[in-house]
């Protein structure tokens, strides 16, 4: 059965560019972004791995660990990292899981035979500190991932986990939020002292509560 939102993600122990990793233990109390690649030495993925390395301070600020996966072995990963560092003018500062036996790929449903035969598709998994899957996105091989969007989603998840709000279309950190439907308007006005704007009885906005 496919991994679904809210599921506890599978644990595994696997080699990586930084040695053996037991996934749940490695994740600890952090959020995790796990993102997969069809193979080493692929052009779009080379730019993505470099981008994530440059954004790592942003992930760190949000208590997020990042980890990549490719079906090649750890020695191949380490060679690829040299190319990434050279071409992307960065330093890869997170592990890349080696998955030559497709163990993790199968656990996480990363093999889509009609797309890439026996290679992993380019998926993103956002996992919370309770090891629950909170988001998954799968991209075609030709389209580079937007990691600013992934950071935006993490901001939304962390905000909405702590306050009774949701985030509207194209929301970014600092924008107004939507009051969840389960809170009556009068109660919302007490709960959100910065103010509640009633656009419709079911559509009410409030300034971001933690700003």
* DSSP of 87-127: HHTS---S-EEE-TT-HHHHHTT-B-HHHHTTSBPEEEEEE
166 CB-contact burial (10 Å; exposed 0-12 / middle 13-18 / buried 19+): middle
Instruction: With CA atoms as reference, report the closest residue to 50 among 16, 77, 88.
Output: 88
Checking if the pLDDT of 118 tops 80, the result is no
Does 76 reside within a domain? yes
177 in active site: no
Please report the pLDDT score of residue 109 as a whole number: 86
Q: What is the mean pLDDT of the segment spanning 15-37?
A: 97
Does 1 reside within a domain? no
List pLDDT tens digits, range 173-211. 999 999 999 999 999 999 999 999 999 999 999 999 998
Does 157 reside within a domain? no
Please report the pLDDT score of residue 26 as a whole number: 98
Please report the pLDDT score of residue 137 as a whole number: 93
> In this structure, are 19 and 118 located in the same domain?
yes
Q: Which DSSP helix (H) or strand (E) runs through 46?
A: helix 43-61
| CATH of residue 27 | 3.40.30.10
> In this structure, are 131 and 175 located in the same domain?
no
List pLDDT tens digits, range 72-85. 999 999 999 999 99
Does 211 reside within a domain? no
> In this structure, are 175 and 104 located in the same domain?
no
The number of folded domains in the chain is 2
> In this structure, are 137 and 181 located in the same domain?
no
> In this structure, are 130 and 192 located in the same domain?
no
> In this structure, are 102 and 18 located in the same domain?
yes
45, 66, 110, 188: the active-site residue: 45
> In this structure, are 101 and 182 located in the same domain?
no
Q: Which backbone phi and psi does 74 adopt, to 5 degrees?
A: -65, -35
Does 82 reside within a domain? yes
Please report the pLDDT score of residue 1 as a whole number: 58
Residue with tokens 């091989």: 141
Alpha carbon of residue 27 to chain centroid:
13
Please report the pLDDT score of residue 172 as a whole number: 95
> In this structure, are 26 and 93 located in the same domain?
yes
Does 2 reside within a domain? no
> In this structure, are 99 and 68 located in the same domain?
yes
Is the Cβ–Cβ distance between 116 and 65 less than 8 Å? Answer: no
Least confident interval from 4-8, 23-27, 117-121, 182-186: 117-121
Distances (CA, A) of 99 to 70, 136, 144, 193: 6, 19, 21, 51
pTM > 0.85: yes
Task: Give residues with Cβ within 8 angstroms of 117, minimum separation 6.
Answer: none
**Domain carrying residue 174:** 163-206
List pLDDT tens digits, range 53-64. 999 999 999 999
Spatial separation of the C-alpha atoms in residues 6 and 209, rounded to whole Å: 25
Checking if the pLDDT of 119 tops 90, the result is no
Does 198 reside within a domain? yes
> In this structure, are 27 and 126 located in the same domain?
yes
> In this structure, are 100 and 169 located in the same domain?
no
Checking if the pLDDT of 116 tops 60, the result is no
> In this structure, are 192 and 115 located in the same domain?
no
The two structure tokens encoding residue 46: 């080379």
Mean of pLDDT over the chain: 93
């Amino acid at each position: 059965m496919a991994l679904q939102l809210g599921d506890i993600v599978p644990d595994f122990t696997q080699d990586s560019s930084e040695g053996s990793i037991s996934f749940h233990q490695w994740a600890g109390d952090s959020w995790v972004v796990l993102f997969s690649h069809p193979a080493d030495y692929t052009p779009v993925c080379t730019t993505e791995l470099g981008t994530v390395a440059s954004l790592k301070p942003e992930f760190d600020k949000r208590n997020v660990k990042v980890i990549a996966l490719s079906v090649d072995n750890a020695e191949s990963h380490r060679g690829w990292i040299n190319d990434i560092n050279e071409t992307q003018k960065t330093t890869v500062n997170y592990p890349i899981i080696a998955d030559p036996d497709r163990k993790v790929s199968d656990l996480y449903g990363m093999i889509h035979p009609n797309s890439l035969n026996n290679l992993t598709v380019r998926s993103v998994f956002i996992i919370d500190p309770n090891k629950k899957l909170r988001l998954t996105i799968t991209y075609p091989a030709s389209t580079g991932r937007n990691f600013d969007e992934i950071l935006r989603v993490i901001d939304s998840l962390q905000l909405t986990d702590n306050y009774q709000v949701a985030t509207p279309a194209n929301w970014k950190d600092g924008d107004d939020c939507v009051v969840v439907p389960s809170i009556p308007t009068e109660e919302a006005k007490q709960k959100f002292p910065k103010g509640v704007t009633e656009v419709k009885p079911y559509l009410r906005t409030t300034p971001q509560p933690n700003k």
